[in-house]
Amino acid sequence: MSRVGKMPVTIPAGVDVSIKDDQISVKGTGGQLAIAANALVKVNNEGGKLSFVPANDSREANAMSGTLRQLVNNMVTGVTKGFEKKLNLIGVGYKAQATGAKLNLAVGYSHPVNIDMPAGITVATPGPTEIVIKGADRQRVGQIAAEIRAVRPPEPYKGKGIRYADEKITIKETKKK
């Protein structure tokens, strides 16, 4: 059995988990998330702990038990604490401004780039070159951060562009004659 799948998910106070035949939903102070249940994994709720057991001895059921366990754990963490990604803008004149559910970027193009945030995702700009994306769904927070980074990814010669706060860019040496 998967090592990750063996560990139970502890449900904190204030979080409601409902398990149906085709869906697992988690509701808490940070919102409500749902995921489709897999037929290869049996989910049991015993005294505030969720356990994930493969339905059979196949390799796929073993792998899915660990995968489903981690996805549900991320949902529980998301509705209690939430997830966040930080991005930095590096470059002369590069700036970001969050207004409501929109993010305006000035990153060296002849026009400003406007990005609309989906429901459940909030964006903040503590400084003109910092972007903080927050939300309950880990996958959506990471996807939005990747889409913002893709507007102007860091280039390898000067390092200008949008990068994650913890990202290291290896600067290339220029060509010599």
CATH of domain 3-80: 3.90.930.12
Decide if pLDDT at 19 tops 60. Answer: yes
Domain with CATH 3.90.930.12 in the chain: 3-80, 83-164
User: For the domain with range 83-164, which CATH number is right: 3.40.50.720, 3.40.50.11440, 1.10.3080.10, 3.90.930.12?
Assistant: 3.90.930.12
3-state secondary structure of 16: strand
Residue entry with tokens 């063996």: 6
Q: What is the pLDDT of residues 32-46, one digit of tens each?
A: 999 999 999 999 998
Decide if pLDDT at 3 tops 90. Answer: no
15 vs 117: CA distance, rounded Å: 26
Q: What is the pLDDT of residues 77-103, one digit of tens each?
A: 999 999 999 999 999 999 999 998 999
pLDDT at 2: 65
- CA 165, 167, 168, 169 torsion-angle sign: negative
Rg (the chain; Cα; Å):
21
Decide if pLDDT at 107 tops 70. Answer: yes
As given in the structure block, the two tokens for residue 113 are 């780039």
Which pTM does this prediction carry? 0.89
